[in-house]
A and B are shown apart, each in its own frame.
Chain A
Amino acid sequence: MSLLAPRAEAAQVQVAVAANFTEPAKEIAALFKKKTGNDVLLSFGASGGFYMQIIHDAPFQVFLSADEERPKLAVEKGYAVPESRFTYAVGKLVLWSRVMDVAKGEAALKAGAFSRLAIANPKSAPYGTAAVETMKALGLYDSLQPKIVQGNSIAQTFQFVDTKNAELGFVALSQLHGVSDGTRWVVPGNLHAPIRQDAVLLKKAANDEAAKAFLAFLKGPEARAVIERFGYALP
Protein backbone atom coordinates (compact mmCIF):
# COMPACT_ATOMS: atom_id res chain seq x y z
CA MET A 1 0.00 0.00 0.00
CA SER A 2 2.70 2.49 1.00
CA LEU A 3 4.27 2.20 -2.44
CA LEU A 4 1.00 3.23 -4.03
CA ALA A 5 0.26 6.02 -1.57
CA PRO A 6 0.29 9.46 -3.13
CA ARG A 7 3.28 11.69 -2.29
CA ALA A 8 3.30 14.60 0.10
CA GLU A 9 1.63 17.07 -2.27
CA ALA A 10 -1.59 15.02 -2.21
CA ALA A 11 -1.91 13.14 1.07
CA GLN A 12 -4.56 10.62 1.90
CA VAL A 13 -6.74 10.72 4.99
CA GLN A 14 -8.21 7.42 6.13
CA VAL A 15 -11.47 7.88 7.95
CA ALA A 16 -13.71 5.40 9.76
CA VAL A 17 -17.27 6.67 9.36
CA ALA A 18 -20.34 5.59 11.33
CA ALA A 19 -22.89 4.11 8.91
CA ASN A 20 -25.51 6.82 9.51
CA PHE A 21 -23.06 9.51 8.31
CA THR A 22 -22.24 7.78 5.01
CA GLU A 23 -23.80 10.22 2.55
CA PRO A 24 -22.74 13.51 4.19
CA ALA A 25 -19.22 12.13 4.69
CA LYS A 26 -18.97 11.45 0.96
CA GLU A 27 -20.01 15.02 0.14
CA ILE A 28 -17.70 16.52 2.73
CA ALA A 29 -14.81 14.41 1.48
CA ALA A 30 -15.44 15.62 -2.07
CA LEU A 31 -15.51 19.27 -0.92
CA PHE A 32 -12.32 18.73 1.08
CA LYS A 33 -10.61 17.17 -1.92
CA LYS A 34 -11.64 20.08 -4.12
CA LYS A 35 -10.29 22.58 -1.63
CA THR A 36 -7.04 20.93 -0.51
CA GLY A 37 -6.30 18.28 -3.14
CA ASN A 38 -6.09 15.67 -0.40
CA ASP A 39 -7.84 12.37 -0.92
CA VAL A 40 -10.13 11.01 1.75
CA LEU A 41 -10.51 7.26 2.00
CA LEU A 42 -13.81 6.50 3.72
CA SER A 43 -14.74 3.25 5.44
CA PHE A 44 -18.35 2.81 6.56
CA GLY A 45 -19.63 0.58 9.33
CA ALA A 46 -20.89 0.27 12.88
CA SER A 47 -19.10 2.42 15.46
CA GLY A 48 -18.65 -0.57 17.76
CA GLY A 49 -16.90 -2.49 15.03
CA PHE A 50 -14.64 0.43 14.23
CA TYR A 51 -13.68 0.87 17.86
CA MET A 52 -12.67 -2.76 18.00
CA GLN A 53 -10.60 -2.35 14.84
CA ILE A 54 -8.97 0.83 16.10
CA ILE A 55 -7.73 -0.74 19.32
CA HIS A 56 -6.32 -3.50 17.13
CA ASP A 57 -4.26 -1.07 15.12
CA ALA A 58 -6.53 -0.47 12.12
CA PRO A 59 -4.96 2.05 9.72
CA PHE A 60 -7.50 4.83 10.37
CA GLN A 61 -6.45 8.39 11.10
CA VAL A 62 -9.82 9.88 11.93
CA PHE A 63 -12.81 8.25 13.62
CA LEU A 64 -16.29 9.69 13.04
CA SER A 65 -18.35 7.79 15.58
CA ALA A 66 -22.11 7.66 15.91
CA ASP A 67 -21.82 8.28 19.64
CA GLU A 68 -19.66 10.15 22.15
CA GLU A 69 -18.89 7.04 24.21
CA ARG A 70 -16.44 5.36 21.89
CA PRO A 71 -14.32 8.41 20.99
CA LYS A 72 -14.17 9.19 24.71
CA LEU A 73 -13.05 5.65 25.42
CA ALA A 74 -10.50 5.81 22.60
CA VAL A 75 -9.00 8.89 24.29
CA GLU A 76 -9.04 7.29 27.75
CA LYS A 77 -7.31 4.16 26.49
CA GLY A 78 -4.68 6.19 24.70
CA TYR A 79 -5.68 5.51 21.10
CA ALA A 80 -6.77 9.05 20.30
CA VAL A 81 -5.57 12.63 20.77
CA PRO A 82 -7.56 14.04 23.76
CA GLU A 83 -7.96 17.66 22.63
CA SER A 84 -9.06 16.60 19.14
CA ARG A 85 -12.43 15.25 20.26
CA PHE A 86 -15.53 17.29 19.33
CA THR A 87 -19.18 16.80 18.41
CA TYR A 88 -19.58 17.12 14.65
CA ALA A 89 -23.30 16.41 14.43
CA VAL A 90 -26.34 15.71 16.57
CA GLY A 91 -28.41 12.91 15.11
CA LYS A 92 -32.17 12.95 14.69
CA LEU A 93 -34.17 9.80 15.15
CA VAL A 94 -37.09 9.10 12.85
CA LEU A 95 -39.78 6.44 12.71
CA TRP A 96 -40.18 5.32 9.12
CA SER A 97 -42.45 2.92 7.25
CA ARG A 98 -43.09 1.97 3.64
CA VAL A 99 -46.29 0.04 4.31
CA MET A 100 -48.24 1.89 6.99
CA ASP A 101 -48.95 5.41 8.16
CA VAL A 102 -46.58 6.37 10.96
CA ALA A 103 -46.91 10.14 10.58
CA LYS A 104 -48.83 10.24 13.86
CA GLY A 105 -45.90 8.54 15.57
CA GLU A 106 -46.95 7.73 19.10
CA ALA A 107 -50.48 6.76 18.04
CA ALA A 108 -49.16 4.36 15.39
CA LEU A 109 -46.82 2.74 17.92
CA LYS A 110 -49.59 2.51 20.48
CA ALA A 111 -52.04 0.92 18.05
CA GLY A 112 -49.44 -1.75 17.44
CA ALA A 113 -50.94 -2.85 14.11
CA PHE A 114 -47.69 -4.39 12.90
CA SER A 115 -45.63 -7.49 13.51
CA ARG A 116 -42.04 -6.27 13.20
CA LEU A 117 -40.41 -3.08 14.41
CA ALA A 118 -36.78 -2.62 13.39
CA ILE A 119 -34.23 -0.82 15.55
CA ALA A 120 -30.45 -0.74 15.55
CA ASN A 121 -28.69 -2.83 18.18
CA PRO A 122 -29.14 -0.65 21.31
CA LYS A 123 -25.93 -1.96 22.84
CA SER A 124 -23.64 -0.95 20.01
CA ALA A 125 -25.55 1.68 18.00
CA PRO A 126 -26.66 4.98 19.57
CA TYR A 127 -29.71 5.24 17.29
CA GLY A 128 -30.80 1.92 18.78
CA THR A 129 -30.27 3.25 22.30
CA ALA A 130 -32.31 6.35 21.43
CA ALA A 131 -35.07 4.17 19.95
CA VAL A 132 -35.30 2.16 23.17
CA GLU A 133 -35.29 5.36 25.26
CA THR A 134 -38.08 6.75 23.10
CA MET A 135 -40.27 3.68 23.53
CA LYS A 136 -39.60 3.72 27.28
CA ALA A 137 -40.46 7.42 27.50
CA LEU A 138 -43.75 6.66 25.77
CA GLY A 139 -44.35 3.73 28.13
CA LEU A 140 -44.56 1.35 25.17
CA TYR A 141 -41.30 -0.56 25.44
CA ASP A 142 -42.60 -3.62 27.27
CA SER A 143 -45.52 -4.11 24.91
CA LEU A 144 -43.41 -3.54 21.79
CA GLN A 145 -40.42 -5.61 22.82
CA PRO A 146 -41.64 -8.93 21.36
CA LYS A 147 -41.95 -7.25 17.96
CA ILE A 148 -38.46 -5.78 17.86
CA VAL A 149 -35.88 -6.95 15.35
CA GLN A 150 -32.35 -5.61 15.60
CA GLY A 151 -30.13 -4.57 12.76
CA ASN A 152 -26.44 -4.77 13.46
CA SER A 153 -26.03 -1.18 12.35
CA ILE A 154 -28.44 1.60 11.51
CA ALA A 155 -27.72 0.83 7.84
CA GLN A 156 -29.04 -2.70 8.26
CA THR A 157 -32.05 -1.41 10.17
CA PHE A 158 -32.82 0.81 7.19
CA GLN A 159 -32.51 -2.26 4.95
CA PHE A 160 -35.07 -4.18 7.02
CA VAL A 161 -37.64 -1.39 6.63
CA ASP A 162 -36.70 -0.69 3.00
CA THR A 163 -37.27 -4.34 2.00
CA LYS A 164 -40.56 -4.21 3.98
CA ASN A 165 -39.48 -7.19 6.05
CA ALA A 166 -40.21 -4.96 9.02
CA GLU A 167 -43.29 -2.75 8.63
CA LEU A 168 -41.64 0.12 10.44
CA GLY A 169 -38.42 1.05 12.14
CA PHE A 170 -36.39 3.71 13.91
CA VAL A 171 -33.71 4.99 11.55
CA ALA A 172 -31.56 8.09 11.26
CA LEU A 173 -33.20 11.08 9.60
CA SER A 174 -30.04 11.47 7.52
CA GLN A 175 -30.78 8.13 5.86
CA LEU A 176 -34.08 9.45 4.52
CA HIS A 177 -32.34 12.28 2.67
CA GLY A 178 -33.68 12.06 -0.87
CA VAL A 179 -36.14 9.31 0.09
CA SER A 180 -39.72 10.32 -0.64
CA ASP A 181 -41.16 6.86 -0.13
CA GLY A 182 -43.35 5.97 2.81
CA THR A 183 -44.37 7.90 5.88
CA ARG A 184 -42.25 9.24 8.71
CA TRP A 185 -42.35 10.74 12.16
CA VAL A 186 -39.38 12.72 13.42
CA VAL A 187 -39.05 11.74 17.08
CA PRO A 188 -39.18 14.81 19.37
CA GLY A 189 -35.77 15.40 20.92
CA ASN A 190 -37.17 15.35 24.46
CA LEU A 191 -37.99 11.62 24.23
CA HIS A 192 -34.37 10.50 24.22
CA ALA A 193 -30.90 11.69 25.19
CA PRO A 194 -29.28 13.69 22.38
CA ILE A 195 -27.42 11.57 19.86
CA ARG A 196 -24.13 13.41 19.97
CA GLN A 197 -21.77 12.10 17.32
CA ASP A 198 -18.14 12.74 18.14
CA ALA A 199 -15.08 12.86 15.94
CA VAL A 200 -11.57 12.17 17.13
CA LEU A 201 -8.03 12.21 15.71
CA LEU A 202 -6.28 8.90 16.28
CA LYS A 203 -2.87 8.82 17.95
CA LYS A 204 -1.00 7.45 14.97
CA ALA A 205 -2.07 10.51 12.97
CA ALA A 206 -1.30 13.00 15.77
CA ASN A 207 1.20 14.78 13.51
CA ASP A 208 -0.54 14.20 10.20
CA GLU A 209 -1.31 17.59 8.66
CA ALA A 210 -3.90 16.27 6.19
CA ALA A 211 -5.83 14.42 8.90
CA LYS A 212 -5.83 17.50 11.12
CA ALA A 213 -6.91 19.64 8.18
CA PHE A 214 -9.82 17.27 7.54
CA LEU A 215 -11.03 17.58 11.13
CA ALA A 216 -10.73 21.37 10.92
CA PHE A 217 -12.69 21.29 7.67
CA LEU A 218 -15.38 19.20 9.36
CA LYS A 219 -15.87 22.05 11.87
CA GLY A 220 -16.03 24.69 9.14
CA PRO A 221 -19.06 26.33 7.51
CA GLU A 222 -19.00 24.29 4.28
CA ALA A 223 -19.13 20.97 6.15
CA ARG A 224 -21.69 22.29 8.62
CA ALA A 225 -23.99 23.26 5.76
CA VAL A 226 -23.82 19.71 4.39
CA ILE A 227 -24.40 18.20 7.84
CA GLU A 228 -27.48 20.34 8.40
CA ARG A 229 -28.86 19.63 4.95
CA PHE A 230 -28.76 15.88 5.67
CA GLY A 231 -31.03 16.31 8.67
CA TYR A 232 -28.66 16.62 11.60
CA ALA A 233 -28.74 19.31 14.24
CA LEU A 234 -25.50 21.20 14.78
CA PRO A 235 -23.77 21.11 18.16
Chain B
Amino acid sequence: MVALEHIWEPVRLTLELAAVTTLALLVIATPLAWWLARSKAKWKEAVAAVVSLPMVLPPTVLGFYLLVALGPDGPGGKIAGLWGARTLAFSFTGLVIGSIVASMPFVVQPIRNAFQAIGDRPLEAAATLRASPWQAFWRVALPLASPGLLSGAVLGFAHTVGEFGVILMIGGNIPGRTRVMSTAIFDYVENMQWGEANLLAAGMAVFAFVVILAMTYFEKRIARLR
Protein backbone atom coordinates (compact mmCIF):
# COMPACT_ATOMS: atom_id res chain seq x y z
CA MET B 1 0.00 0.00 0.00
CA VAL B 2 1.27 3.45 -0.90
CA ALA B 3 1.90 5.66 2.12
CA LEU B 4 0.85 9.15 1.06
CA GLU B 5 2.42 10.95 4.00
CA HIS B 6 5.86 9.69 2.91
CA ILE B 7 5.27 10.95 -0.59
CA TRP B 8 4.05 14.37 0.49
CA GLU B 9 7.32 15.17 2.28
CA PRO B 10 9.59 15.11 -0.81
CA VAL B 11 6.88 16.88 -2.84
CA ARG B 12 6.66 19.73 -0.33
CA LEU B 13 10.45 20.00 -0.10
CA THR B 14 10.78 20.01 -3.90
CA LEU B 15 8.23 22.81 -4.28
CA GLU B 16 9.97 24.85 -1.57
CA LEU B 17 13.35 24.34 -3.17
CA ALA B 18 12.07 25.26 -6.63
CA ALA B 19 10.28 28.36 -5.32
CA VAL B 20 13.29 29.70 -3.38
CA THR B 21 15.64 28.90 -6.26
CA THR B 22 13.39 30.60 -8.82
CA LEU B 23 13.07 33.79 -6.74
CA ALA B 24 16.83 33.93 -6.21
CA LEU B 25 17.43 33.29 -9.89
CA LEU B 26 15.09 36.08 -11.00
CA VAL B 27 17.04 38.52 -8.82
CA ILE B 28 20.42 37.30 -10.12
CA ALA B 29 19.50 36.53 -13.71
CA THR B 30 17.58 39.70 -14.62
CA PRO B 31 20.50 42.18 -14.32
CA LEU B 32 22.84 39.57 -15.79
CA ALA B 33 20.54 39.03 -18.78
CA TRP B 34 20.17 42.81 -19.22
CA TRP B 35 23.92 43.21 -19.32
CA LEU B 36 24.29 40.29 -21.75
CA ALA B 37 21.61 41.80 -23.99
CA ARG B 38 22.90 45.40 -23.99
CA SER B 39 26.63 45.35 -23.33
CA LYS B 40 29.10 45.82 -26.16
CA ALA B 41 31.97 44.22 -24.23
CA LYS B 42 34.01 41.77 -26.26
CA TRP B 43 34.21 39.16 -23.49
CA LYS B 44 30.44 39.22 -23.05
CA GLU B 45 29.97 35.96 -24.93
CA ALA B 46 32.57 34.27 -22.74
CA VAL B 47 30.45 35.18 -19.70
CA ALA B 48 27.35 33.92 -21.53
CA ALA B 49 29.14 30.64 -22.23
CA VAL B 50 30.07 30.23 -18.56
CA VAL B 51 26.44 30.85 -17.58
CA SER B 52 25.31 28.23 -20.12
CA LEU B 53 27.80 25.58 -19.01
CA PRO B 54 25.43 23.75 -16.62
CA MET B 55 23.16 23.05 -19.60
CA VAL B 56 25.86 20.91 -21.21
CA LEU B 57 27.92 19.66 -18.26
CA PRO B 58 26.81 16.34 -16.78
CA PRO B 59 25.14 16.90 -13.39
CA THR B 60 27.70 14.55 -11.87
CA VAL B 61 30.47 16.98 -12.85
CA LEU B 62 28.57 19.89 -11.33
CA GLY B 63 27.65 17.81 -8.30
CA PHE B 64 31.20 16.67 -7.74
CA TYR B 65 32.64 20.21 -7.86
CA LEU B 66 29.82 21.49 -5.70
CA LEU B 67 30.42 18.75 -3.11
CA VAL B 68 34.05 19.86 -2.90
CA ALA B 69 33.20 23.59 -3.00
CA LEU B 70 30.48 23.34 -0.35
CA GLY B 71 32.67 21.21 1.94
CA PRO B 72 34.97 22.18 4.82
CA ASP B 73 37.97 22.83 2.55
CA GLY B 74 35.97 24.94 0.08
CA PRO B 75 34.32 28.36 0.23
CA GLY B 76 31.05 26.73 1.35
CA GLY B 77 32.72 25.54 4.55
CA LYS B 78 33.90 29.10 5.29
CA ILE B 79 30.37 30.45 4.81
CA ALA B 80 28.90 27.65 6.93
CA GLY B 81 31.44 28.59 9.61
CA LEU B 82 29.58 31.89 10.07
CA TRP B 83 26.84 30.02 11.91
CA GLY B 84 29.10 27.35 13.34
CA ALA B 85 28.48 24.64 10.76
CA ARG B 86 31.21 22.85 8.81
CA THR B 87 29.67 22.33 5.42
CA LEU B 88 26.89 23.56 3.19
CA ALA B 89 26.34 20.09 1.76
CA PHE B 90 23.39 18.09 3.12
CA SER B 91 21.45 21.28 3.86
CA PHE B 92 18.58 23.11 2.22
CA THR B 93 20.93 26.06 1.65
CA GLY B 94 23.33 23.73 -0.14
CA LEU B 95 20.55 22.42 -2.36
CA VAL B 96 19.49 26.01 -3.18
CA ILE B 97 23.06 26.91 -4.18
CA GLY B 98 23.37 23.77 -6.31
CA SER B 99 19.99 24.39 -7.94
CA ILE B 100 20.82 28.04 -8.69
CA VAL B 101 23.96 26.97 -10.53
CA ALA B 102 22.25 24.11 -12.36
CA SER B 103 19.16 26.12 -13.40
CA MET B 104 20.88 29.44 -14.17
CA PRO B 105 21.02 29.06 -17.98
CA PHE B 106 17.35 28.14 -18.17
CA VAL B 107 16.44 31.47 -16.59
CA VAL B 108 19.08 33.77 -18.11
CA GLN B 109 18.52 32.79 -21.73
CA PRO B 110 14.79 33.53 -22.12
CA ILE B 111 15.18 36.84 -20.25
CA ARG B 112 18.16 37.81 -22.39
CA ASN B 113 16.22 36.96 -25.55
CA ALA B 114 13.29 39.06 -24.37
CA PHE B 115 15.53 42.06 -23.64
CA GLN B 116 17.17 41.72 -27.03
CA ALA B 117 13.81 41.50 -28.76
CA ILE B 118 12.88 44.95 -27.44
CA GLY B 119 15.60 46.60 -29.50
CA ASP B 120 16.92 50.16 -29.09
CA ARG B 121 13.87 52.13 -30.14
CA PRO B 122 11.59 51.96 -27.10
CA LEU B 123 14.56 52.85 -24.89
CA GLU B 124 15.57 55.76 -27.15
CA ALA B 125 12.00 56.97 -27.08
CA ALA B 126 12.04 56.80 -23.30
CA ALA B 127 15.29 58.77 -23.26
CA THR B 128 13.82 61.54 -25.42
CA LEU B 129 11.01 61.76 -22.86
CA ARG B 130 13.75 62.39 -20.27
CA ALA B 131 13.52 59.03 -18.59
CA SER B 132 16.75 58.09 -16.82
CA PRO B 133 18.29 54.73 -17.87
CA TRP B 134 17.05 53.33 -14.56
CA GLN B 135 13.52 54.54 -15.20
CA ALA B 136 13.66 53.23 -18.77
CA PHE B 137 14.67 49.84 -17.46
CA TRP B 138 11.89 49.66 -14.87
CA ARG B 139 9.07 51.34 -16.78
CA VAL B 140 9.81 50.28 -20.35
CA ALA B 141 12.20 47.34 -20.68
CA LEU B 142 10.96 45.22 -17.80
CA PRO B 143 7.25 45.35 -18.72
CA LEU B 144 8.05 44.63 -22.36
CA ALA B 145 10.22 41.70 -21.38
CA SER B 146 7.74 40.29 -18.88
CA PRO B 147 6.79 37.26 -21.02
CA GLY B 148 10.50 36.37 -21.11
CA LEU B 149 10.78 36.80 -17.35
CA LEU B 150 7.76 34.61 -16.90
CA SER B 151 9.08 31.89 -19.19
CA GLY B 152 12.47 32.10 -17.47
CA ALA B 153 10.78 31.68 -14.10
CA VAL B 154 8.72 28.73 -15.32
CA LEU B 155 11.72 27.02 -16.91
CA GLY B 156 13.91 27.64 -13.86
CA PHE B 157 11.21 26.29 -11.56
CA ALA B 158 10.63 23.23 -13.73
CA HIS B 159 14.31 22.48 -14.16
CA THR B 160 14.87 22.71 -10.40
CA VAL B 161 11.97 20.34 -9.79
CA GLY B 162 13.50 17.83 -12.20
CA GLU B 163 17.16 18.17 -11.17
CA PHE B 164 18.55 14.84 -9.99
CA GLY B 165 22.28 14.36 -10.41
CA VAL B 166 23.45 17.46 -8.57
CA ILE B 167 21.13 16.81 -5.63
CA LEU B 168 22.09 13.16 -5.42
CA MET B 169 25.74 14.20 -5.17
CA ILE B 170 25.36 16.93 -2.52
CA GLY B 171 22.09 16.02 -0.80
CA GLY B 172 22.77 13.12 1.54
CA ASN B 173 19.20 11.88 1.16
CA ILE B 174 17.87 13.28 4.48
CA PRO B 175 14.08 12.90 4.79
CA GLY B 176 12.36 16.27 5.12
CA ARG B 177 15.54 18.23 4.50
CA THR B 178 17.30 17.06 1.34
CA ARG B 179 15.25 14.18 -0.06
CA VAL B 180 13.43 15.74 -3.01
CA MET B 181 11.12 14.11 -5.55
CA SER B 182 13.75 13.03 -8.06
CA THR B 183 15.94 11.36 -5.42
CA ALA B 184 12.90 9.87 -3.68
CA ILE B 185 11.86 8.20 -6.96
CA PHE B 186 15.37 6.78 -7.33
CA ASP B 187 15.19 5.52 -3.76
CA TYR B 188 11.77 3.92 -4.23
CA VAL B 189 12.90 2.16 -7.39
CA GLU B 190 16.03 0.77 -5.73
CA ASN B 191 13.88 -0.52 -2.89
CA MET B 192 11.28 -2.04 -5.16
CA GLN B 193 8.52 0.28 -3.91
CA TRP B 194 6.98 0.51 -7.36
CA GLY B 195 3.68 2.06 -6.21
CA GLU B 196 5.33 5.10 -4.65
CA ALA B 197 7.78 5.43 -7.54
CA ASN B 198 4.91 5.29 -10.01
CA LEU B 199 2.86 7.93 -8.28
CA LEU B 200 5.73 10.42 -8.04
CA ALA B 201 7.05 9.71 -11.53
CA ALA B 202 3.61 10.04 -13.12
CA GLY B 203 3.09 13.31 -11.25
CA MET B 204 6.37 14.67 -12.59
CA ALA B 205 5.54 13.58 -16.14
CA VAL B 206 2.21 15.42 -16.00
CA PHE B 207 3.94 18.47 -14.53
CA ALA B 208 6.54 18.47 -17.31
CA PHE B 209 3.76 18.26 -19.91
CA VAL B 210 1.98 21.27 -18.43
CA VAL B 211 5.24 23.25 -18.30
CA ILE B 212 6.04 22.57 -21.96
CA LEU B 213 2.53 23.56 -22.96
CA ALA B 214 2.81 26.79 -20.95
CA MET B 215 6.21 27.51 -22.52
CA THR B 216 4.79 27.20 -26.02
CA TYR B 217 2.21 29.79 -25.08
CA PHE B 218 4.79 32.21 -23.64
CA GLU B 219 7.01 31.80 -26.66
CA LYS B 220 4.16 32.84 -28.94
CA ARG B 221 3.71 35.97 -26.87
CA ILE B 222 7.42 36.78 -27.07
CA ALA B 223 7.33 36.26 -30.83
CA ARG B 224 4.47 38.76 -31.06
CA LEU B 225 6.68 41.32 -29.27
CA ARG B 226 9.21 41.24 -32.07
Residues of A whose CB lies within 8 Å of any CB of B are 46, 48-49, 51-52, 99, 115-116, 118, 121, 123-124, 148-152, 156, 159-160, 163-167
CA distance A165 to B85 in the complex (A): 11
Contact A115-B86, Cβ < 8 Å, known A48-B191, A124-B191, A150-B173: yes
Q: Are A152 and B173 in contact (CB under 8 A)?
A: yes
Asked if residues B86 and A121 are in contact (CB atoms below 8 Å), the reply is: no
A14 to B67, CA, bound (A): 32
Q: Do A52 and B190 touch (CB < 8 A)?
A: yes
How many B residues touch the partner, as a band? 20 to 34
- B54-87: which residues lie under 8 A (CB-CB) from chain A? 67-68, 70-73, 85-87
Cβ-defined contact, B190 with A165, below 8 A = no
B174, CB-defined interface residue at 8 Å: yes
Is there an interface contact between B173 and A151, defined as CB atoms closer than 8 Å?
A: yes
Given contacts A149-B172, A150-B173, A160-B172, contact A165 B70 (CB under 8 A): yes
B41, CB-defined interface residue at 8 Å: no
Compute how far the CA of A118 lies from the CA of B71 in the bound complex, rounded to whole angstroms. 14
The smallest beta-carbon distance between A26 and chain B, in angstroms, is: 21
Bound Cα distance A121, B175 (Å):
12
Chain B residues, Cβ within 8 Å of A152 = 168, 173, 186-187, 190
Q: Does B157 contact A (CB under 8 A)?
A: no
A-B contact count (CB 8 A): 72
Q: Are A116 and B90 in contact (CB under 8 A)?
A: yes
Residue of B nearest to A116 (CB): B90
| Cα distance, A125 to B84, chains bound together (Å) | 32
Residues of A within 8 A of B189 (CB): 49, 52
Known: A150-B173, A150-B174, A164-B86. 6 other contacts (CB 8 A): A116-B90, A118-B172, A121-B190, A149-B174, A164-B87, A165-B86
User: Do A99 and B72 touch across chains, with their CB atoms under 8 A apart?
Assistant: yes
Q: How far is the CA of A51 from the CA of B68 in the complex (A)?
A: 31
- Asked if residues A121 and B187 are in contact (CB atoms below 8 Å), the reply is yes
Bound-state Cα–Cα, A151 to B172, Å: 6
Query: In the bound complex, do residue B86 and residue A148 qualify as a contact, i.e. CB atoms below 8 Å apart?
Result: no
* B67 A124 Cβ-Cβ under 8 A: no
**Contact sample, A vs B, 26 pairs, CB 8 Å cutoff:** A48-B190, A48-B192, A49-B189, A49-B190, A51-B190, A51-B192, A116-B86, A116-B87, A116-B90, A121-B187, A121-B190, A123-B187, A123-B191, A124-B187, A148-B174, A150-B173, A151-B172, A152-B190, A159-B67, A160-B89, A163-B89, A164-B86, A164-B87, A165-B67, A165-B89, A166-B87
Across-interface contacts of A167 in B (CB, < 8 A)? 86
Contacts of B169 in A (CB 8 A): 156
Please tell me if the beta carbons of A121 and B67 are within 8 angstroms of each other in the complex.
no
Q: Cα distance A164–B178 when bound, in Å?
A: 18
Using Cβ atoms and an 8 Å threshold, which residues of chain B touch A115?
A: 85-86
Q: How far is the CB of B174 from chain A (nearest CB, A)?
A: 6
